[in-house]
Amino acid sequence: MNLYGFIFKKNEGNKKMSGKVVLAYSGGLDTSVCINWIKEKYNMEVIAVIIDCGQPKDLKEARQRALDIGAIKSVIVDAKEEFLNDFIFPSIKANLKYEKKYPLATALARPLMVKKLVEIARKERAKAVAHGCTAKGNDQVRFDVGIRSLAPDFKIIAPLRERSISREEAIEYAKKCGIKIDVTKKSPYSIDENLWGRSIECGVLEDPWNKPPDDIYIWTKITKNSGESEYIEIGFQEGIPVSLNNENIPPAMIIKKLNELA
């Protein structure tokens, strides 16, 4: 049996389920593969939902990609202000960092994403909510617990977890299905971005003994290539940033500018 048949056996799965499923869609490899897989295995109509938490991607391009792959609908939900006010600001006030280093950018966004997914699933009268998490990370728990808390009646579909699909196998499947992606076996990284940070995983990063390669850094510069240092001044009011270099600008813009300066 070839790789395609092994991972996505058409005689396996619940063809009787049908109905609609709302998928947390990023436009990347994992969730793009999920659209096709859910249609084949569950015979369900996929609604791809892109939650805009300030990621710098071209979200309109991602929305069109979902439709091209086979989603019946693809929507973008603007959640930037809610993410900023209800999650980022409280984390700043709490000086929230994992092991005093990582600002938990990815983790902070997940509860908000789940909330929006469930809202749309209710509106669309969907039967399930799907995500592209694997079985080895914390994200699967964040999505599952959130969905179970807000919508215990919904089925949760997690294709990559259900079949333990590796990154390499997902890339191969995408090629066979004609799904256009930017990921290759030489650069297999899974990247999560939002207003508050950027996290990278997969590839050589799976082994903590390996030094992260230079090509994974986009927002920041390698120290030897960074040039002269730049000093900045951030003004706070009641724990919330209100100015950058003595210029009063909206907090979201302050964070965006700091990401660019880095």
Active-site annotation holder among 26, 74, 190, 198: 190
Catalytic residue flag (residue 52): no
Catalytic residue flag (residue 110): yes
Active-site annotation holder among 26, 32, 65, 139: 139
8 Å CB contact between 29 and 181 = yes
Catalytic residue flag (residue 91): no
Catalytic residue flag (residue 243): no
Active-site annotation holder among 30, 32, 65, 198: 30
Token duo for residue 256: 């965006």
Active-site annotation holder among 110, 142, 167, 198: 110
Q: Which residues pair with 48 in a beta bridge?
A: 23, 74
Question: Which residues participate in catalysis according to the annotation?
Answer: 30, 110, 139, 190
